Structure 1
């Protein structure tokens, strides 16, 4: 706790230098939008000793969640003990650094310190380098970052988005301005609205464009403070006094813009678009993978690889089943054809037997496990070896070994083949199928 309070002491001068106009602008954004924003923070841009842009706490306004606001108005909040008591001590120390009225500090932390309020308070100690985390990336790109929902907050690769999600924030928005970044947080899921960006940029844009808007804002918010006639221009320039080292574009004619800066901005914009496209692809991948063990990208990719391997195994099983069914249909067709040919008439059977005897063809089949031994003996007429190979090819048998002998015009074939998967026919059925093929 002491470390947090002591680290906040370096920011006390910043709070003292903050003008009422900056606080009024943040309140104006929250109170004049239909969405319920829990808090608003302005991260002020300065340059450090290494000539790098540093975004640190400029000012903030906490509204609270809807439930907390209603309890506070009814006076029904009750203090809790344990870790919440420690939060209150730290909260009092942090708020005492930048509150002018001690009674306001006691009133703010009298009740329960919620997760969102704690997240808002400890943000005082945070700072970001341009290009790092969500705040620095928004400032470097010159646009905005809008994260809504559990998936976008968890998948966005930065610590502040994850920390906000852990403290109950469902929508986190960072809008770049010429002098810093406006951050908005809500406990509700809010869809992207261009009106929020326009309002923030108009209030925190160049001073000559927002003089009239700030006057209207003071009347709408109704906050006590000096009038514009009393405070003068310093009320508007105060928040950006420490940002005087920012590179303000020159208004002199004839001066050309820096090509190097434009090139750097183009690279930053391209990198931002690449990251957004990559995140969208992860969202699409998450939607098609049925079982995801964790929400991080590495686990998602591992689960996707496992799912693809399962699909590949299922495809291989289906292909085997298709081949088996095809083989069964072929063998059934052979059996049906053989049955029809042998049961037509007695005369036809006699003619077939006479023909077989005249030709002198003999087929013997032995099936041993996944292999089959086929011996065919026939006269050397009309290329019997070629017809035997054609018959084995039609039956989708793979030949392991084959030998052919010719003795006194009699051909002797010995063939060893591999039986296809799912083959469930008898030796006699296979013999009839081969014999039928050889006599075509």
Structure 2
């Protein structure tokens, strides 16, 4: 289709005539250079830009509404059915969840600490030193489940001849010191055997 531009309005050539001039008439003729003027281009492009922006705005609104509906399905308590109230309720709910997570983490740390302490109390600290045929033995353990009977039973299995024995308790911790004659045994053998028997 040929391009056109607007000519200036035509006026009457007679200056003496009292007849009023006709209204301006826009005559459309092809442009000689075949180009579209800037004003014509703006008239064509502007509506397209506005229409595109409107579509993008509608699309964003739809996506935003979907996100709000998703948020509404997650938040347990909603005070009012408007976006501002929903966002406020969501922030409060997130803060509650953070507080619960901190409480659970703190409780878990306390449980782990208690478990480690219990394991340390259950585990026996055994020291053995050999002087010739005599073993000097010290056992440190919790004062529960008759630790002295377990140690005496273990030494009896080794056919050790007890020369000296003392026992004392401090803050629920028992200390047992023995001197026993165990011919033919090494320090590592006695210590390994007592660990096996007492830490069951």
Which TM-score band (shorter chain)? 0.3 to 0.5
When normalised by structure 1's length, the TM-score is: 0.21
Structure number with bigger Rg: 2
Give the structure with the larger helix fraction. 1
